[in-house]
Amino acid sequence: MDALAPPRLALALAAMVDIALHARPQPVSAKALAARHALPPRHLEAVLQALVHHGLLKGMRGPHGGYELARERRRISAGDIARAVLGPEARPDVEADKAVFGLVVAPLVAEAAGAYLATLDAVTVEDLCGRAEAVRVAGPRAGPDFTI
């Protein structure tokens, strides 16, 4: 995983691209997703549930259940995924020197977080699928994506 992307975010991005590429005609099971990424399914479940909770994935139960995108690839940004899995950042418990934290550190961190999310907002799942196809980690698409 990249040192710049939190592991939970990198895992969520990989899962969303994998699901976008493999969810036709059947949803992608957590077991299949975990197998492709060499992870135990329990590592993925919390991430997948967060994505479902935020309306980015649809989860289907049953023997042919699994996950599929809740809306079109082009309408889901990497920023949406980041917001779903990272949630609000926990404020550090800083008792000493609150002035430095509040007046110097916190604004810098907020500015960096805004720039980070703006960069992620400019990239869609469709873009990431195109990158995966370009480097041949996925086959070409079978046809247009009409997922709503």
Q: What is the Cα 95 distance to its own chain's centre?
A: 34
Per-residue pLDDT, 91: 45
Phi first, then psi: what are they for 30, rounded to 5°? Answer: -60, -35
Domain ranges (residues) in the chain: 7-90+124-134
User: What is the number of alpha carbons within 13 Å of residue 6 lying toward its C-beta?
Assistant: 15
Amino acid present at 40: P
Mean per-residue pLDDT over the chain, rounded: 84
The per-residue pLDDT for range 27-52, each reduced to its tens digit, is: 999 999 999 888 877 778 999 999 99
Is-contact 50 103, C-beta < 8 A? no
The per-residue pLDDT for range 94-129, each reduced to its tens digit, is: 454 577 888 888 888 889 989 999 999 999 999 999
Residue 19 has pLDDT above 70, yes or no: yes
Class of domain 7-90+124-134: mainly alpha
| Tokens (6 digits) for 39 | 């992870």
DSSP class of 28: B
Strands (E), the chain: 57-60, 66-69
